[in-house]
Amino acid sequence: MTDYDAVVIGGGVAGRTAGSFIARAGLDTAVFDGGDSLLRRNAHLENFPGFPVGVNPRLLLDLMRDQAEGAGCDWHDLEIADVDRHPDDGFVVKPDGEDRWIHRADRLVVATPGRTDYLSELPVETYAEDGSTFIDASPAGRTDLDGLYTAGRLAGKPLQAAVAAGHGAEVALSVLEDADVPFAFDWSVPDGYFTDRGRDVPPGVEEVSAEQRRERERRSLEVMAGHFADPHPDDPDPHPELRSDGDGE
């Protein structure tokens, strides 16, 4: 059984963001992605910060996966079939197609809009609104079950990618706080920004030299140019009601 500090279930915008933030802070993190992010149905994402004329939604998800894996996340292209409490501590996770518990996690972030069936063994409070199911949680994603968090649409947040990203980050900070990870904020700042003022560099912050800054910018330009050189090969996913034979049957 593989042990993780945190497991994120759901590979949409909220889940990918949460995984990136948690892993960057040094926790062993895994993301389980069933491949059904709502964003894949979008034609062209036109209101996400940083893209003045929009961005291909599937490309954005690719970029976010690269970022999460680069931060240290283990990525599993699998749906989760079942979750339960570990007899000692944390949670156990069973991917689809398995007949035994495969992974254990101290903390669990769930971000699967409209899907909670795999949580049936846990005392999770849900509620229905306008035909959708949500998990009852605090604004920062904490549920009444210690160690279980929810992010994005499943937490009742509006169906907007930018909101999902922000909430995924906020929930990640809840995880770090509850795990007692020394963390102030996730910044890189110019060399001397803190130390030249006689201050310690806060946890989570990195001072970088001018040479390091230029190299990081060079690398970012190179990577982004590669991603945006050609149109994305994938078309939007159809709505589930239209997937079988085109008439909603």
Domain residue ranges of the chain, discontinuous segments joined by +:
2-178, 184-249
- pLDDT tens-digit map of 33-62: 999 899 999 999 999 999 999 999 999 999
The DSSP symbol for 236 reads P
Domain at 2-178: CATH architecture: 3-Layer(bba) Sandwich (3.50)
The 10 Å CB-count burial string (b at 16+, else e) for 126-158 is eeeeeeeebbebeebbbbebebbbbbbbbbbbe
Residue 90 makes CB contacts below 8 A (sequence gap 6+) with 104, 105, 106, 107, 108, 147
- pLDDT tens-digit map of 65-112: 999 999 999 999 999 999 999 999 999 999 999 999 999 999 999 999
Average pLDDT, the chain: 96
Average pLDDT over residues 8-23: 98
Place of tokens 């949580």: 119
Q: How much is the pTM?
A: 0.94
Least confident of 105-119, 132-146, 169-183, 234-248: 234-248
